[in-house]
Amino acid sequence: MKKQVLSAALIVMMVLTLCACGSSGSSGTATKGVLVMATNAEFPPYEYKEGDKIVGIDAEIAEAIAQKIGCKLEIEDIAFDSIIAEVVSGKADIGLAGMTITEDRKQSVNFSDPYATSSQVVIVQEASGIKGLSDLTEDSVIGVQIGTTGDIYCSDSFQNIERYNKGMEAVQALTQGKIDAVVIDSEPAKVFVSENAGLIILDESYTDEEYAAAIRKDNTELLEAVNKALSELKADGTLDAIVAKYISAN
């Protein structure tokens, strides 16, 4: 009986430790039982703000994961290109921000099992005459959000890249005729196009990719716990329900 009690206590301690590696607020002190998620709340429907609250697919998935591992979720809104550094430094436990698994990022962090698939698409002005990817040339001016896979992929294909802190800033530049196209993830692209008359998404996707949570390389216990939670959330339909809440099947 004593061994069983001890084992149960150790399990509780391990779970609390998993949630204690991030900082709480700006003080930098770890708080037990808190899972700190770093994100960039400029990426609807995955993460965006409603008033002062950060909502979206990633926010709800992180909340479900936190509940599974017995932690309270705390979300930090930072620049997208700072998320990996925040996780590596231990200031955040996980990064969820519609983040694509790439070989370059895997040099710095571990990734959980994928929880969503997406694609990079191209937004253009309907009146531009650009009908497909072949209409874009090396001289085309392409807008991207700094640090995203759109930024990474376009840097290999185009000479003229305009980088913006937020995807919406790139879209605004497109509407003003400052750039020829915007390369961005498909779901945010749909939102931006619906909110800005005269813009369209090209039928052909630029790339296809998978989203996952970024976790510090030495925090293998948290990685295992997150993967276990994701597996359970997939099995019981929670993941599908969260995605369906924000993304129509049509």
Residue-by-residue DSSP string for the chain: -HHHHHHHHHHHHHHHHHTTSSB-TTS--B-TTEEEEEE-S-BTTTBEEETTEEESHHHHHHHHHHHHTT-EEEEEE--GGGHHHHHHHTS-SEE-SSPBP-HHHHTTEEE----EEEEEEEEEEGGG---SGGG--TT-EEEEETTSHHHHHHHTT-SEEEEESSHHHHHHHHHTTSSSEEEEEHHHHHHHHHHSTTEEE-SS-SEEEEE--EEETT-HHHHHHHHHHHHHHHHTTHHHHHHHHHS---
Q: Is the pLDDT of residue 226 over 80?
A: yes
Of 105-109, 189-193, 219-223, 245-249, the least confident: 245-249
Domain boundaries, the chain: 2-115+212-246, 118-208
Confidence grade of residue 154 (pLDDT, cut at 50, 70, 90): very high
Distance between CA atoms of 178 and 184, rounded to whole angstroms?
17
Whole-model pTM: value is 0.73
> What is the percent of the chain with per-residue pLDDT over 90, rounded to a whole number?
76
**pLDDT recorded at residue 230:** 98
**101-114 tens-digit pLDDT:** 999 999 999 999 99
Fold equal for 2-115+212-246 and 118-208: yes
What is the β-pairing status of strands 34-39 and 199-201? unpaired
**56-115 tens-digit pLDDT:** 999 999 999 999 999 999 999 999 999 999 999 999 999 999 999 999 999 999 999 999
**185-215 tens-digit pLDDT:** 998 999 999 999 999 999 999 988 999 999 9
Calculate mean pLDDT across residues 2-23. 48
**15-36 tens-digit pLDDT:** 555 565 444 433 333 346 999 9
**pLDDT recorded at residue 27:** 32
Q: Is the pLDDT of residue 145 over 70?
A: yes
C-alpha separations of 191 from 39, 49, 198 in Å = 19, 14, 13
Q: How does DSSP assign 52-71, residue by residue?
A: TEEESHHHHHHHHHHHHTT-
Closest CA to 169 of 198, 137, 139, 192: 192
Fold of 118-208: D-Maltodextrin-Binding Protein; domain 2 (3.40.190)
Closest CA to 19 of 85, 76, 70, 59: 70
Q: Is the pLDDT of residue 148 over 60?
A: yes
Distance between CA atoms of 81 and 164, rounded to whole angstroms?
11
Is residue 214 a contact partner of residue 99, using CB atoms and an 8 Å limit?
A: yes
CB atoms within 10 A of CB 72: 14
Q: Which amino acid would we find at residue 48?
A: Y
Is residue 164 a contact partner of residue 143, using CB atoms and an 8 Å limit?
A: yes
CA-CA-CA-CA torsion sign (106, 109, 112, 115): negative
Fold of 2-115+212-246: D-Maltodextrin-Binding Protein; domain 2 (3.40.190)
**pLDDT recorded at residue 138:** 82
